[in-house]
């Protein structure tokens, strides 16, 4: 259990929360994990951990524009959040297939992570897709080019914004992992031991933690990954974004692929092995050979790789096998 206290939006007393979580973790994982259907009666959860430290002010390229890493990551996260809403929309109804949390580290504090919802949702932990739709900070109008019948034309797109670009302070990554653990514990306590698809945690960073040693950070990640539903353990995916020249490592299947890169090895040890249902999509999107296993990490990735990585980690593509778990008519 994390040593963080329950957040104000949670209603269970601390003793009841601990008891509920311990009861959930005592139940064995079923023989065929990661097979639960995602429906309104049994939503899954996504937690996005965003590095907002000072080094995220470095320049990168995204959609043909020169941006800071923090600006590019914010654009990508905002697009993913919009796609999650659209994936839940049925007519005028936005259905509750997901609970979504957004955690930042470094932007507002040197030594601790923060919840990133703002406005009327400030201080909230998880938002449903309907709540997320009502929590837009602003709508940006962006001029962009599209190719229609071989002609390039300029159009104006409206893009909802939930996450602003921030780059300040150091990199308290362990604090973000521990906060994610607390949120997952709270989420598990609410599930009443139902057969639900386990939460997915996606950590996006451009550097090393400044609030922990490698051993301490790895221990925190292992604690988070030890949490589970009846359908399987929490999935923790880590991506290191960088525009530096060097080898990009995507979803390795064994540690020997990493060579002598100590940071890549740390990411490897921090991350979860991906369920078999993801394998075909990983191989297709990244042009990899079919393998018996893939670890959910990416080292030295550019922004295009980050977008593909996010498409694996979240159900935003209709042709992904993971989205077949959705039951849209239930």
Closest CA to 171 of 193, 203, 195: 203
Neighbours of 226 (CB within 10 A): 11
- Asked if residue 108 is part of any domain, the answer here is yes
Considering its fold, how many domains does the chain have in total? Answer: 1
Residue 33: inside a domain? no
Q: Could you tell me if residue 229 is inside a domain?
A: yes
The DSSP secondary structure of 290-330, one letter per residue, reads P-S--BSEEEEE-HHHHHHHHHHHS---TTSGGGGGB-TT-
**Does residue 16 sit within a domain?**
no
Give the residue numbers spanning the domain of 260. 38-325
pTM: 0.88
pLDDT tier at 65, thresholds 50, 70, 90: confident
214-226 helix and 173-190 helix, angle to the nearest 10 degrees = 10
Would you place residue 14 in the very low, low, confident or very high pLDDT band (cuts 50, 70, 90)?
low
Average pLDDT over residues 34-50: 93
- Decide which of 150 and 320 is more confident: 150
Within a domain: residue 91?
yes
Binned at pLDDT 50, 70 and 90, residue 13 comes out as: low
- Position 184 scores a pLDDT of 96
Q: What is the pLDDT of residues 151-189, one digit of tens each?
A: 777 778 888 999 999 999 999 999 999 999 999 999 999
Three-state SS string over 169-196 comes to CCCCHHHHHHHHHHHHHHHHHHCCCCCC
Which of left, alpha, beta for 246 (phi over 0: left; psi -120 to 50: alpha)? left
3-class state of residue 67 by DSSP: strand
pLDDT on residue 11: 52
Phi, psi values for residue 145, rounded to 5°:
-105, 140
Task: Give the pLDDT band (50/70/90) at residue 315.
Answer: low
Question: Residue 242 corresponds to which tokens in the numbers above?
Answer: 């960088």
Give the β-pairing of 98-105 and 138-148: unpaired
Q: What is the pLDDT of residues 188-239, one digit of tens each?
A: 998 878 899 999 999 999 989 999 999 999 999 999 999 999 999 999 999 9
Does residue 276 lie within any of the structural domains?
A: yes
- Indicate the burial class of 215 (C-beta count within 10 angstroms; 0-12, 13-18, 19 or more): exposed
Q: What's the mean per-residue pLDDT of the chain?
A: 86
Strand 228-229 to strand 232-233: parallel, antiparallel, or no bridges (unpaired)?
Answer: antiparallel
CATH of the domain at 245: 3.40.50.410
């Amino acid at each position: 259990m994390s040593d963080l206290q329950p957040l104000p939006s949670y209603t269970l007393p601390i003793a009841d929360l601990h008891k509920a979580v311990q009861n959930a973790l005592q139940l064995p994982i079923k023989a065929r994990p990661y097979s639960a259907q995602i429906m309104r009666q049994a939503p899954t959860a996504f937690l996005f951990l965003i590095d907002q430290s000072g080094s995220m002010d470095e320049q990168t390229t995204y959609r043909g524009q020169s941006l800071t890493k923090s600006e590019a990551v914010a654009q990508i996260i905002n697009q993913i959040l919009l796609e999650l809403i659209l994936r839940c929309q049925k007519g005028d109804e936005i259905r509750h297939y997901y609970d979504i949390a957004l955690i930042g580290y470094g932007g507002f504090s040197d030594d601790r992570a923060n919840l990133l919802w703002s406005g009327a949702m400030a201080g909230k932990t998880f938002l449903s897709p309907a709540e997320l739709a009502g929590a837009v900070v602003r709508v940006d109008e962006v001029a962009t080019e599209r190719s229609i019948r071989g002609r390039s034309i300029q159009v104006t797109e409206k893009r909802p914004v939930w996450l602003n670009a921030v780059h300040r302070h150091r990199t308290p990554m362990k604090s973000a992992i521990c906060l994610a653990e607390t949120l997952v514990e709270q989420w598990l306590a609410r599930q009443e031991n139902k057969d639900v698809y386990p939460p997915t945690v996606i950590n996006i960073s451009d550097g090393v933690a400044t609030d922990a040693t490698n051993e301490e950070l790895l221990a925190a990640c292992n604690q988070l990954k030890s949490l589970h539903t009846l359908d399987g353990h929490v999935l923790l995916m880590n991506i290191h974004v960088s525009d530096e020249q060097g080898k990009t490592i995507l979803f390795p299947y064994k540690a020997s692929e990493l060579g002598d890169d100590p940071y890549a090895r740390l990411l490897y040890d921090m991350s979860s092995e991906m369920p078999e249902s993801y394998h075909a999509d990983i191989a297709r999107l990244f042009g990899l050979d079919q393998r018996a296993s893939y670890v959910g990490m990416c080292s030295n990735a550019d922004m295009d790789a980050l977008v593909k990585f996010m498409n694996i980690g979240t159900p935003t593509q209709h042709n992904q096998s993971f989205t077949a778990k959705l039951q849209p008519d239930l």
